[in-house]
Chains A and B, each alone.
Chain A
Amino acid sequence: MLGLIGASAVVYYVYNKPHRDVSKEKGVQLSAQNLYDAFRTNETEANKLYLDKAIELTGEVGNVSTNQDGKVVVDFKTNDPLVVINCTFKENPGNLQPGQTITFKGICTGFIPDANVVINEGVLVK
């Protein structure tokens, strides 16, 4: 009987554990260029510092698009024309334009060389 209650508790926990909410976390404050430089210089070290962490980026919006599931994606430019910081919003942030300066906070999922640093599940801070 106790086993059954225990098992039920585990099942309840598995099905109800909330997803991470980055808006409640304090982010590491960086510029797009700082973040890219860290990964370009030493990916292993940068992963230790930033992978799975809440990152708060302030910078100029380079490009605005939507992904294949309709989520808004903002690219921040770096000094390398091939490389951007690719940021996906969890909720629609409203109207954003290239050239606008914004602060975005999300969870860093890592680096793809010659392409992008990826941050997702993000929110617009300001």
Chain B
Amino acid sequence: MKFVLAFVLLTIGFAGTVEAQKVFATRNGKISFIAPNDDDVKAVNNEVTSRIADNGQITFSMLIKGFRFKLAEMQDHFNDQYLQSMTFPRADFKGNITNLADVNFGKDGTYKVTVKGDLNMHGVTKNMSATGTIEIKGGKPIATAQFTLMLKDFNIEAKSVTDKVTVELNCQYQ
């Protein structure tokens, strides 16, 4: 009897866990890097893998080789000289929505969020936070944000082009 009860409780426990957390994902989110002083220097990555859970966890992973520039020569410089993408092929962010109580994943609407976490890029991990919005549309989230990264924080030397980049993020989840 005790065994049966334990089994039932365990089953409910598992079902409860599955029910409690909903995860939305995309393999083709979009992140752009833009040099604030030069419109020509803009790179777009359309293969950003991201997951967002209704418990507030949020991850982004992007491959440096996946950033495409209008000018092929700039793309080569970005990969070979500034980001050393053969050595550091991927950038990863893992963090949390700090104002989760303001977001209702079950109700269509636009919610302002602050996300805090660790960004690893070019072999350097830095704690950072950014504000953005999560729009729930037809039950599915769209995350957007715009923020600035200082290149020296990630040990990236590209002074002849820029010392900072504007990051534009737009990820539509399934």
Contacts and interface: CB of A to CB of B under 8 A. Distances in A.
B95 interface: no
A84 B27 contact: yes
A69 B86 contact: no
Interface string B64-77: 11101001111100
Contacts of B170: 68
B66 A120 contact: yes
B89 interface: yes
Interface residues on A, range: 20 to 34
A112 B66 CA distance: 12
Nearest to B30: A68
Given A47-B86, A51-B89, A120 B27 contact: no
Contacts of A88: 28, 46-47
Interface stretch (A1-9, A14-22, A28-36, A92-100): A14-22
A121 B64 CA distance: 14
B27 A47 contact: no
A26 interface: no
A55 B172 CA distance: 28
Nearest to A108: B65
Contacts of B66: 109-110, 118, 120
A73 B72 CA distance: 22
Nearest to A20: B72
B46 A52 contact: no
Contact of B28 (A14, A51, A65): A65
B125 interface: no
A115 B72 CA distance: 28
Contact of A112 (B30, B72, B90): B90
Interface string A113-126: 00110101100000
Contacts of B74: 14
Interface in B18-50: 27-30, 44, 46-47, 49
A14 B172 CA distance: 34
A41 interface: no
Nearest to A65: B28
A73 to B, nearest CB: 6
A18 B64 CA distance: 20
Interface of B: 27-30, 44, 46-47, 49, 61, 63-66, 68, 71-75, 86, 89-90, 170, 172
30 contacts: A14-B71, A15-B71, A15-B73, A51-B65, A52-B65, A67-B46, A67-B47, A68-B28, A68-B172, A69-B44, A73-B27, A73-B28, A75-B27, A86-B27, A88-B46, A108-B65, A109-B63, A109-B65, A109-B89, A110-B63, A110-B65, A110-B89, A110-B90, A111-B63, A111-B89, A112-B49, A115-B61, A116-B49, A118-B47, A120-B68
